[in-house]
Amino acid sequence: MRNKCIFKIVSMFFIVYFSISPVVYADDIDYSEDYFPTDSDTLETSSDTLGKMSINSRAYIVLDRNTNTVLLEKNSNQKRKMASTTKIMTATVVIENCDLSETVTIPKMAAATGGSRLGLKTNDKITVRDLLFGLMLKSGNDAAVALALHVGGSLDGFAVLMNNKAKELGFKNTNFETPHGLDSANHYTTAYELALLSNYAMKNKTFANIVGTKSYTITINGYPKTIENTNELLGYFSGVYGIKTGFTNGANRCLVSCCKRGELDVICVVLGADTKKFRTTDSIKLLEYTFQNFELTDFAKIAKDNFDVWKQEHVDDFTVVKGISDDVIIDLQDLENPVIPLDKNFKDSINVQINCKTSFVAPVEANSCVGELIISVRDTIVYTIPISTTNRIAKKSILDYFMDFSNCFKFIFLNGF
């Protein structure tokens, strides 16, 4: 009887404790099983199943790295918490504002930071570079605070640097309050802007090297410590070469991945997945669909081919009233990013429309915009390319009119009435 009472008391204690205790983590301290999918988890990625794919994540995006073209998305402009993917910005700000060889003495505030940790203690000595590896591989919140205090002077000061960088990159729906991503009311981004940030960060060789490292040995107080990357796709999924995982109760499971196969190089962001398994399988489904179905398409060639045909068909239509000739030469302006990935299922949906003037009044100046070529895919405009003149047609002078009259009189005289 006594044992039963003790059991009930202990049971009630744990029930009450876990019902009232707030549990907030940043990154992969979710105590779920380590997970990497089998082939059966990716069977839904055949070319005709985009609409049928079951994606658990609340928001996602696949972005072409070369052109920032959105290939796949859901709720990609919805503001969401981003957990430890925050550290992409933290690392970026540190790398751009700090000597990585500097030694940092760990303050008490950093050592006391909870959630996922590198394991730093007050007064530990470690270089900025090793803190960055601890930040991005181990997802150490203690490393994040140490770096923020070292570079920004305070957490608020570092948040200013983070938000200034976000503004510099043109972000409208992103705001940072912390360097680690633990849940707070005004700490948020969108899948789209997180993808843009990731693309920017990965262009820095130091950053790319860090997040592409599977295992690394840092030094704390002169003693080595080997850490492993929390990114479950790195080293396992073909083409993945970075970048960051994330988990808090408010953000759920998040994952940002860079993946390249052949010439196609993309960033995949999933936010708000219910489990680690879902964030992994969601990422794989989206990446597999992308590489199976998208191919690089040269829209400059499509534009030129259609434009050449149009010019041939309208070669006799050009007239210049009061001009010394009707020989108007036109051409397309160059495209900044002419080669972008296109879903092969949409190849037959490419439409080219050309609107161009054929009648002019002299003078006609060179480099004058006289029309546009519009390329659309599935009724969505992809490119609007200006059409411009490349030569100048002068207005006839009195002498020109006199020469015309003379030539006409000569023709009549030689050929009779």
Residues classed as catalytic: 84, 87, 139
Residue ranges of alpha helices (H) inside 84-190 are 87-97, 108-111, 128-136, 141-152, 155-168
Provide CB contacts within 8 A for 168, sequence distance 6+.
none
SS3 397: coil
Whose CA is closest to 120, among 129, 128, 112, 111?
Answer: 111
Q: φ, ψ for residue 133 (rounded to 5)?
A: -65, -40
CA distances to 88, 216, 294 from 71, rounded to whole Å, are: 22, 34, 8
By CB neighbour count within 10 A (0-12 exposed, 13-18 middle, 19+ buried), where does 415 fall? Answer: exposed
Listing DSSP states for 10-66 in one string gives: HHHHHHHHHHHS-----SS-S-PPP----GGGGGGGSTT-GGG----SSEEEEEETT
Contact status, residue 91 vs residue 198, Cβ threshold 8 Å: no
SS3 310: helix
Contact status, residue 65 vs residue 180, Cβ threshold 8 Å: no
SS3 292: helix
